[in-house]
Amino acid sequence: MRSIKITGIAVFCLMLLVCAALSFCLPQKSYSDIENRSLETKPEWNAADLLSGEYQEHYETYLNDQMFLRDRWVGLAAAIERTAGKKEVNGVYIGKDGYLLEKYSASDFDNAQIKENIRILSSFLNDAVKQYGARHVSCLLVPDKSDAMPDKLPKYAKTGIEKVKSAAAQLAQSLHKPGILLDTRTQLLSHQDEYIYYRSDHHWTTLGAYYAYAAWAAQTKRKAPKLADYERTVLFDDFYGTTYNKVHSKVPADSVELFYHPNQDGVKVDIDHGDAVSDSFYFKKAAVEGFNRYNVFLSKNTASIEITTKAKTGRSLLLVKDSYANCFVPFLAGDYEKIWMVDCRYSKQNVRDLLAEQTEITDVMVMYQANKFMQDTDLKALDGEAKQMETFDADSFFNE
Amino acid sequence: MVFSSLLFLFRFLPLTLLAYYSVPGKLRNLVLFIASLIFYAWGEPVYIVLILFSTLVDYTTGRLAGFFQEQGQRKRARLAVFVSAVTNLALLAFFKYADFFLQTVPSVFGAEMPVFNLALPIGISFYTFQTMSYTIDVYRGDAKVQKNLIAFGAYVSLFPQLIAGPIVRYKSVASQLDSRKENVSQFYHGVIRFMAGMGKKVLIANQIGAVWNEIAMIGTDNLASATAWMGIVAFTLQIYFDFSGYSDMAIGLGAMFGFSFPENFNYPYEAKTITEFWRRWHISLGEWFREYVYIPLGGNQKGMLRQMCNIAVVWFLTGLWHGAYWNFVLWGIYYGILLVLEKFFLLRILHKIPAWCGRIYTILCTFFGMSLFAYQDMADGAGYMRALFLNGGAGWMDQQTAFLATSNAGLFLIAAVGATSFAKRLVLHSLSERARDLAGIFFTVGVFAACLAMLVNSTYNPFLYFRF
């Protein structure tokens, strides 16, 4: 009996010592690719920090950030919670058929921010209509996965759909011309049994993007290539996306598909004014480097991308977008000779300046994931008022 | 520093255990004293002065009280006790209640006064009570004078129970401070107890606390009644698992260092009356008030009216001890009234009805008590009550209720069963001591791994949108 107790004590002490030794000796990492943030490294101590408690705070963060096998522990935590019957772990719904869906609740949205974003976007679109005509301006709000594929949600799970609907209605109301705001959700909903969003990532698949393209083409009275016209190849089948990284909960890996059409031949892609130049929409190397296979579409997020195609349509497009457009834009290769893509989160240039500069532009499209658009705090680059404010400030500065 | 952290598990505890067991017996109190001061100073280095001050004051008053008592000078001995009590209560009053009074008293006259806005020194409610108990015990002849400042310092600052109890009265550990023999069986049971406490805190309290937080976040205007009830059940379970888990960890750690601390919880949610509940809930606090307030005031020996007064005083103070907010006072008074009612007539009825009726009565009273306890802002508390009892903004039930119920059913079930003595009785009945000890090893490893996973997960914050 005594020997069992001694064994027990030894096991306990050994666990403490081994963990202590590991966390002490293993090399430190300064950045986590998966968490997408810098990690705290061992702080240097000094008397002042020690007295104020600042050193201690940093030290604890350092211990947590440098914990060995961090992702594995997170995965174990998710497995425990799933075993206990949890349908939501770390803000992610554990859905059906291996789907992981980000959870949105009313408290994730700030009404003032939504109002502000609607003001900026509607004024931008209204101005664009004045310049290019209603037929050449469109706005596509991509539904969140949970709203496009509600069947995959766990039973009774709530999504942000009510907020999205009311925001979309407000946006439609503030637009002077009807028909600019495109409803992609209905189209996607009718295909929700298909593989239109990644299971482990928040993005839509290339197939999902195609359905949205087809809906847009129908609405703008264009002839879109049929689904069968594309040559589809699966480039990766080992993709675990960002939603997965929040929970590390076991789901089947995603596959990433490319849709090839001859109209993509001879394309020129210029990222961030010569930062990277390519003759293809697809950046295999960028996708293999990290975990994020979605980067195959026009590499990682960047401020601006300039695309030249072989199309002879006499039309050029400004596309204000977030990452959902990256796998969508190849479908536009047959419709525009030139496409300027701008991501307001990274762009320092005001989009209105770009419009004035690029006189070739004939069409404007805005594409955002609806929920992210409502939460976005970086729309300043679209804002005409902010632009006036800036110049005003500059003037008063020089006058002083 | 808290027990449920990587810092404690990977740095503090292994180092302290190593240091403690590698020095001879005479130096072990010193190791504990130093380790405890580091433990205390980690979060708030400056406040270490307070605990040292409290230690020195009571070391001195205790010696004086003992000296005068020996000389037969009771009046002077009493003066020493008085100095100890005034000093400790002044510390507590200044750091914990000064702002409360500065806000409350002038507001009666419609005035306003500036407040100090001091951070509450960790554990001050616990160690001031402990040091006071020492001088009083010496004065009463219940304990011998502690002449060794290190041993006394170790008692006051003893890290296992420093920040959340149990409130260890001096006389219950006096002999252990001077001479204790650490042994294998005690250490082993300490490990099991510590892991059980850690599991209660990290695996249950934190998880069910997250459910409560989510429900509290909804806001009482959008809260369906059934969700509100789920919230209060979650909060009731969270408080129990959090607090009793912490006590378990303290008792377990104490055992690893050769101490045997008094129990603090005994399955309170199994109680059949509120009177019984308070003999099972935060036992060390109840005993402290009984020993040092209720009985000195005359207890039940001086007639009914006097007893009622004494109960009122004790429960007002018990409420206030939990925090400098009116809701805690109200909560204390609520229990005072229930206890008086039980003394008058309810107990007689409760003893006649079936046990399960008593249990339901007690748990319902506890739920109500917890909804007083939960909100420091009285208006928020009232709003929550409205959602509980009067159909709130979202009706009796909604989609959210259904989701929370289905997603957390397992957790609630584990917590509800875990709050009873069922598992303990099952293990004691079905396993031999040998099998229990063996199972204990697997339990330790399993809970350790699960707790690490949860602790790491709680600090894991993928920051996704801006860069993707």
What pLDDT does residue B462 have?
Answer: 54
- Phi and psi at residue A64, in whole multiples of 5°? -70, -45
Q: Are A9 and B191 in contact (CB under 8 A)?
A: yes
Q: Residue A24 carries which side chain, given as an amino acid letter?
A: F
Q: Are A318 and A354 in contact (CB under 8 A)?
A: yes
Q: Exposure pattern of A102-135 as b/e (b: 16+ CB <10 Å)?
A: bbbeeeebeeeebeebbbbbbbbbbbbbeebebe
Cβ pair B414:A157 closer than 8 A: no
| CA atoms A355, A358, A364, A369: torsion sign | negative
Tell me if residue A335 falls in helix, strand or coil: coil
Give contacts of A 7-26 with B, CB under 8 A. Answer: 7-9, 11-13, 15-17, 19-20, 23-24
Mutate which of A4, A32, A108, A163 to disrupt the B interface (most B C-beta within 10 Å)? A4
Would you put residue B168 in left (φ > 0), alpha (ψ -120 to 50) or beta? beta
Residue A306, judged by CB atoms within 10 A of its CB (0-12, 13-18, 19+), counts as: middle
| Mean pLDDT of all residues in A86-109 | 91
Strand partners, A363: A317
Whole-angstrom Cα distance, residue B65 to residue B60?
A: 8
Whole-angstrom Cα distance, residue B423 to residue B429?
A: 10
Q: Are A344 and A382 in contact (CB under 8 A)?
A: yes
The answer to whether residue A70 neighbours chain B at the CB level (below 8 Å) is: yes
Q: Could you tell me the CA-to-CA distances from A293 to A240, A241, A255, B17 in Å, in that order?
A: 8, 8, 9, 48
Which chain A residues are Cβ-neighbours of B461 within 8 angstroms? 35, 37
Whole-angstrom Cα distance, residue A269 to residue A282?
A: 10
Stated as kind and residue range, the H or E segment containing B32 is helix B28-43
Most distant pair of Cα atoms in chain A: their distance? 89
| CA atoms B218, B220, B225, B228: torsion sign | positive
Whole-angstrom Cα distance, residue A78 to residue B447?
A: 15
Give contacts of A 194-233 with B, CB under 8 A. Answer: none
The answer to whether residue A117 neighbours chain B at the CB level (below 8 Å) is: no
The answer to whether residue A166 neighbours chain B at the CB level (below 8 Å) is: no
Q: How many CB pairs under 8 A join A and B?
A: 170
Chain A residue closest to B218 (CA)?
A: A107
Q: Which DSSP state fits B203?
A: I
User: Of the candidates B188, B203, B463, which has its C-beta nearest A5's C-beta?
Assistant: B188
Whole-angstrom Cα distance, residue A312 to residue A333?
A: 10
| pLDDT at A114 > cutoff 60 | yes
Which chain B residues are Cβ-neighbours of A65 within 8 angstroms? 459
Whole-angstrom Cα distance, residue B134 to residue B167?
A: 12
Which chain B residues are Cβ-neighbours of A301 within 8 angstroms? 467-468
Residues in chain A: 400
User: Of the candidates B42, B191, B462, which has its C-beta nearest A8's C-beta?
Assistant: B191
Q: Indicate which residues of B carry an active-site annotation.
A: 322
Cis previous bond, B166, omega within 30: yes
- Token pair for A114: 């939504």
Whole-angstrom Cα distance, residue B335 to residue A353?
A: 69
Q: Could you tell me the CA-to-CA distances from A235 to A244, A286, A288, A330 in Å, in that order?
A: 20, 13, 11, 16
Whole-angstrom Cα distance, residue B24 to residue B109?
A: 62
- B257: closest CA among B58, B23, B37, B10? B23
Whole-angstrom Cα distance, residue A77 to residue B459?
A: 12
Tell me if residue B375 falls in helix, strand or coil: coil
Distance of CA B402 to the CA centre of its chain: 33
What pLDDT does residue A102 have?
Answer: 93
Whole-angstrom Cα distance, residue A8 to residue B437?
A: 8
Cβ pair B445:A292 closer than 8 A: no
What pLDDT does residue B419 have?
Answer: 94
Q: Which DSSP state fits A44?
A: P
| pTM metric for this prediction | 0.88
- Token pair for A33: 């690719």
| Mean pLDDT of all residues in A222-251 | 91
Which chain A residues are Cβ-neighbours of B195 within 8 angstroms? 12
Give contacts of A 270-309 with B, CB under 8 A. Answer: 292, 300-301
Give the closest-approach CA distance of B460 to chain A in angstroms: 8
Q: What is the mean pLDDT for each group of 10 consecutive residues in chain B (468 residues)?
A: 91 95 92 94 86 91 89 88 90 82 72 71 85 89 89 91 84 88 93 96 93 87 89 94 94 95 93 93 91 87 85 90 86 91 87 91 93 86 86 80 93 95 92 91 96 88 46
pLDDT tens by residue, A172-224: 999 998 888 998 899 999 999 999 999 999 999 999 999 999 999 998 888 89
Whole-angstrom Cα distance, residue A96 to residue B197?
A: 35
Cβ pair A51:B45 closer than 8 A: yes
Which chain A residues are Cβ-neighbours of B443 within 8 angstroms? none
Q: Could you tell me the CA-to-CA distances from A349 to A49, A303, A345, A380, B110 in Å, in that order?
A: 41, 9, 11, 10, 56
Which chain A residues are Cβ-neighbours of B217 within 8 angstroms? 107
User: Of the candidates B402, B403, B457, which has its C-beta nearest A73's C-beta?
Assistant: B457
- Token pair for A63: 């211990």
| pLDDT at A145 > cutoff 70 | yes
Chain B residue closest to A84 (CA)?
A: B410
User: Of the candidates B203, B403, B452, which has its C-beta nearest A156's C-beta?
Assistant: B403
- A108: closest CA among A162, A40, A28? A162
Give the closest-approach CA distance of B267 to chain A in angstroms: 23
Strand partners, B314: none
Which residue is listed with tokens 């959870």? A103
The answer to whether residue A68 neighbours chain B at the CB level (below 8 Å) is: no
- Token pair for A174: 């503030």
Split at pLDDT 50, 70, 90, the class of A330 is very high
Strand partners, A137: A364
- Token pair for B447: 């809970």
Whole-angstrom Cα distance, residue B386 to residue B371?
A: 11
pLDDT tens by residue, A371-398: 999 998 888 888 876 555 444 444 443 3
Cβ pair B462:A36 closer than 8 A: yes
Q: Are A236 and A290 in contact (CB under 8 A)?
A: no
Tell me if residue A28 falls in helix, strand or coil: coil
Give the closest-approach CA distance of A237 to chain B in angstroms: 20
ipTM: 0.88
Which chain B residues are Cβ-neighbours of A4 within 8 angstroms? 434, 437-438, 441
Q: Residue B3 carries which side chain, given as an amino acid letter?
A: F
Q: Which DSSP state fits B12?
A: I
Q: Are B407 and A88 in contact (CB under 8 A)?
A: yes
Split at pLDDT 50, 70, 90, the class of A399 is very low
What pLDDT does residue A386 have?
Answer: 58
Tell me if residue A297 falls in helix, strand or coil: strand
Whole-angstrom Cα distance, residue B253 to residue B255?
A: 5
Mutate which of A26, A69, A73, A202 to disrupt the B interface (most B C-beta within 10 Å)? A73
Give the closest-approach CA distance of B210 to chain A in angstroms: 11
Most distant pair of Cα atoms in chain B: their distance? 80
Whole-angstrom Cα distance, residue B157 to residue B141?
A: 23
Q: Are A286 and A295 in contact (CB under 8 A)?
A: yes
Chain B residue closest to A1 (CA)?
A: B434
The share of chain A scoring above pLDDT 90, in percent, equals 58
Which chain A residues are Cβ-neighbours of B40 within 8 angstroms? none
Q: Could you tell me the CA-to-CA distances from A277 to A259, A273, B10 in Å, in that order?
A: 21, 9, 49
User: Of the candidates B402, B445, B468, which has its C-beta nearest A301's C-beta?
Assistant: B468
The answer to whether residue A388 neighbours chain B at the CB level (below 8 Å) is: no
Cβ pair A35:B463 closer than 8 A: yes
Give the closest-approach CA distance of B195 to chain A in angstroms: 10
- Token pair for A146: 């949970």
Whole-angstrom Cα distance, residue A61 to residue A44?
A: 13
Cα atoms in the 13 Å half-sphere on the side-chain side of A245: 21
- Structure-model confidence comparison of residues A11 and A65, the more confident one: A11
**Sequence-distant (≥ 6) Cβ neighbours of residue B418 within 8 angstroms:** B200, B204, B241
Distance of CA A125 to the CA centre of its chain: 22
Whole-angstrom Cα distance, residue B212 to residue A199?
A: 29
Write the DSSP string, B61-81: HHHHHHHHHHHT-HHHHHHHH
**Sequence-distant (≥ 6) Cβ neighbours of residue A277 within 8 angstroms:** A268, A269, A270, A271
Which chain B residues are Cβ-neighbours of A74 within 8 angstroms? 453, 456-457, 460
Which chain A residues are Cβ-neighbours of B42 within 8 angstroms? 53, 56
Give the closest-approach CA distance of A236 to chain B in angstroms: 19
What pLDDT does residue A70 have?
Answer: 86
| pLDDT at A60 > cutoff 50 | yes
Whole-angstrom Cα distance, residue B41 to residue A146?
A: 48
- Token pair for A36: 């997408």
Cβ pair A87:B403 closer than 8 A: yes
Whole-angstrom Cα distance, residue A240 to residue A235?
A: 14
Which chain A residues are Cβ-neighbours of B452 within 8 angstroms? 19, 73
Give the closest-approach CA distance of B182 to chain A in angstroms: 13
Cβ pair B406:A155 closer than 8 A: yes
Whole-angstrom Cα distance, residue A90 to residue A85?
A: 14
- Token pair for B157: 């600052």
| pLDDT at A305 > cutoff 80 | yes
Give the closest-approach CA distance of A130 to chain B in angstroms: 32
Q: Are A135 and A362 in contact (CB under 8 A)?
A: no
Q: Are A51 and B45 in contact (CB under 8 A)?
A: yes
The answer to whether residue A394 neighbours chain B at the CB level (below 8 Å) is: no
